[in-house]
Amino acid sequence: MNKIRIGIVGTGAVGTAVAMNAVLSGIADEILLMNRRREKAEAEAMDIGHAITFQSRYCHVHAGEYSECGNLDLIVITAAAPLVQGQTRLDMLDTAKKITASIVPPIMESGLIGNSLLSQTLWTSSAIMCTSCPACPPTG
């Protein structure tokens, strides 16, 4: 299986779980964590790095910026606003769209060579957009 380079935007519970699962499954040889607060992404990258020390595989997990996305194969957007009491996921759609709209342009400006963009943020309210990548099975 070809290993891929993954960028994950949002280092909350979902983004960190995605990163850890990508490392443990062995599909990635590099994971770039990005967050509005860079220090949060750096802390999560260090935590994952410490957690995988005794794994039989290596994956370079580090924090970075949107400008570093040019050589990635897959971007996973997990950034979202917190759920407010009484809100439904559908109520969060407008905020999710605004967050995603603020993230995608700078990623694309980085010269992204990958062919996949997956938005978990919008999935919670609407749909996923993902095309093929080396680690994913072909879609019909």
What is the tally of structural domains in the chain? 1
- Do 99 and 93 form a contact (C-beta atoms < 8 A)? no
pLDDT confidence of residue 128:
36
pLDDT confidence of residue 49:
92
Give the mean model confidence (pLDDT) for residues 104-112.
90
Q: Structural domain of residue 2, as residue ranges? A: 1-70+79-87+114-130
Distance between CA atoms of residues 116 and 98, nearest Å: 20
On whether residue 104 sits in a domain, the answer given is: no
pLDDT tens by residue, 20-51: 999 998 899 999 999 999 999 999 999 999 98
On whether residue 27 sits in a domain, the answer given is: yes
On whether residue 94 sits in a domain, the answer given is: no
Distance between CA atoms of residues 126 and 135, nearest Å: 24
